[in-house]
């Protein structure tokens, strides 16, 4: 093998490793007991408040069937999806607001300070989409956590893909 092919192979390996890590935070993060790609039946058992289920809708953006679950008393909104309407759904997005007391895997919850978020997630911050005083994106907008701030405090936590 010549050096050009070795260099090309090395570059492909590096790029594939970087792409694989792009969603690492999304895959290992939790909000309370919930996680991305969790089966709906499992998630349902972990929610202690009444859950309202929206209609199942086909999304043109990803070609999957989505359903929104809300539990206002828990400050929780979930997006679930499946490739076919009859298939079991999995969690594709979790949104946390007041009055939730749940926290992320690194201990951040509604009411945490921006400084606490930066200390916990600053090394994972996506600089292009994070705006100090407004939001911090940890991971990427295509898969990660989005913390929304008001007056220096977390008012919303989103886990999932904020962009397509």
pLDDT at 14 exceeding the cut of 60: no
pLDDT at 38 exceeding the cut of 90: yes
Domain residues for the domain of 16 are 3-160
Q: How far is CA 102 from CA 6, 72, 92, 107, in A?
A: 49, 14, 18, 9
Mean pLDDT across the chain: 87
Q: What is the dihedral of CA 28, 34, 40, 42, to 10 degrees?
A: 100
Asked whether the whole model's pTM tops 0.75, one would answer yes
Q: Count how many domains the chain has.
A: 1
For the segment 106-112, the average pLDDT, to the nearest whole number, is 98
Which pair of structure tokens corresponds to residue 14? 């590096």
At 19-33, the pLDDT tens digits run 446 778 888 999 999
């Amino acid at each position: 093998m010549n050096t050009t092919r070795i260099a090309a192979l090395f570059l492909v390996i590096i790029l594939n490793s970087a792409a694989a890590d792009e969603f690492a935070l999304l895959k290992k993060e939790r909000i309370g007991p919930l996680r991305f790609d969790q089966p709906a039946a499992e998630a349902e058992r972990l929610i202690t408040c009444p859950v309202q289920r929206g209609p199942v809708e086909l999304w043109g953006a990803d070609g999957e069937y989505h359903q929104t679950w809300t539990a206002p008393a828990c400050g929780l909104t979930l997006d679930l999806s499946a490739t076919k309407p009859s298939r079991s759904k999995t969690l594709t997005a979790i949104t946390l607001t007041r009055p939730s007391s749940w926290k992320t895997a690194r201990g951040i919850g509604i009411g945490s300070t921006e400084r606490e978020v930066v200390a916990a997630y600053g090394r994972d911050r996506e600089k292009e989409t994070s705006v100090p005083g407004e939001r911090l994106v940890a991971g990427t907008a295509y898969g990660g956590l989005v913390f929304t701030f008001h007056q220096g405090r977390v008012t919303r936590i989103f886990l999932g893909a904020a962009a397509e």
